[in-house]
């Protein structure tokens, strides 16, 4: 069983002051990972961009026309750097397995089962799965066409436009107890950019009531911290399906220890759950 799905965002892995990887975050998080956990890690595209700049002295020339192409190239470069760092810091007695997923793996019954079965084998095989959306081979235009084709058939497809959605879908796929979303903030704020307004918990007696409270909370969530990010409002939207399945969701800062987030009531975080 995979009891905990963890998602860490791109900017939580970046040291903004030095425009470089935050090796402290990589090291601390990696030391706490163990079989029975699954990590959904963003960062390949941004890390690939930084790695490209280091090796070439400048980033790829970016225009509206080339933006998606550049993301593809950066993601392909960043994946190896991302996994290299996790392998460096995760306890050597554990195997790690990179799993690159696309929307089709959640929208096809056979592919969903194949993905689920493979992930569920990991704990017994002493392995930690590290999951990311496969931006390197995902073409946005084709993805939109495939998603629309499913909608035309009356289905409600999974899009995976963001790794928050991917993590929520993984948690549902595995029927995990907890989904932990690590960010560069302490959780959800009632007032944007004001940590003193941290929402400590959102709870309800049943999933429908809980989703309603989350919808109200979304009104406080405005903006995102970078281009191509979707912000706290989107995070809350993506987790609604997980909440309907009875999965507890925690949103907290990647600077905190996992054990503290999960077990210390004094740690700053937002917990969303059915009582």
pTM of the model: 0.90
Residues 239, 124 share a domain: no
- Looking at the structure of the chain, the number of domains it has is 2
Residues 196, 157 share a domain: no
Q: Which CATH number covers residue 79?
A: 3.40.1160.10
Domain boundary among 125, 142, 176: 176
Tell whether the torsion through CA atoms of 216, 132, 25 and 91 is positive or negative.
positive
How do residues 131-167 score in pLDDT, each as one tens digit? Answer: 998 888 876 666 667 667 778 777 777 776 788 999 9
Residues 248, 138 share a domain: no
pLDDT at residue 151, rounded to an integer? 81
Residues 245, 132 share a domain: no
Residues 100, 17 share a domain: yes
* Domain interval for residue 275: 178-275
Contacts of 158 (CB under 8 A, 6+ apart): 103, 106, 107, 165, 169
Residues 125, 5 share a domain: yes
Residues 211, 144 share a domain: no
Residue 94, burial from CB neighbour count under 10 angstroms (0-12, 13-18, 19+): middle
Residues 75, 191 share a domain: no
pLDDT at residue 45, rounded to an integer? 93
Convert 158-182 into a string of H (helix), E (strand) and C (coil).
CCCCCHHHHHHHHHHHHCCCEEEEE
DSSP code per residue over 19-53: TEE-HHHHHHHHHH--BTEEEEE--HHHHHHHHHH
Residues 213, 140 share a domain: no
Residues of the chain short of pLDDT 50, as ranges, are 225-229
């Amino acid at each position: 069983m995979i009891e905990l799905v963890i998602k860490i965002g791109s900017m939580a892995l970046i040291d903004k002051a030095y425009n470089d990887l935050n090796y402290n975050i990589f090291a601390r998080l990696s030391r706490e990972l163990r079989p029975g956990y699954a990590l959904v890690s963003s960062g390949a595209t941004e890390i690939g961009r930084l790695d490209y700049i280091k090796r070439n002295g400048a980033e790829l020339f970016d225009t509206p026309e080339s933006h998606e192409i550049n993301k593809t190239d950066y993601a392909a470069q960043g994946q190896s750097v991302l996994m290299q760092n996790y392998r460096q810091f995760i306890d050597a007695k554990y195997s790690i397995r990179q799993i690159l997923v696309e929307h089709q793996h959640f929208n096809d019954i056979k592919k969903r089962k194949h993905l689920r079965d493979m992930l569920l084998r990991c704990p017994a095989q002493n392995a930690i799965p590290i999951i990311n959306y496969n931006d390197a081979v995902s073409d946005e235009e084709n993805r939109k066409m495939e998603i629309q084709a499913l909608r035309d058939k009356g289905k409600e497809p999974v899009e995976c436009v963001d790794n928050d959605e991917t993590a929520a879908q993984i948690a549902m796929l595995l029927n995990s107890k907890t989904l932990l979303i690590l960010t560069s903030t302490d959780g959800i704020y009632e007032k944007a950019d004001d940590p003193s307004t941290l929402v400590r918990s959102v709870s309800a007696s049943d999933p429908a009531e809980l989703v309603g409270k989350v919808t109200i909370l979304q009104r406080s969530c405005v903006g995102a911290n970078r281009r191509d990010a979707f912000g706290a409002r989107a995070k809350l939207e993506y987790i609604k399906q997980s909440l309907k399945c009875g999965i507890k969701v925690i949103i907290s800062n990647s600077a905190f220890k996992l054990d503290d987030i999960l077990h210390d009531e004094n740690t700053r975080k937002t917990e969303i759950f059915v009582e």
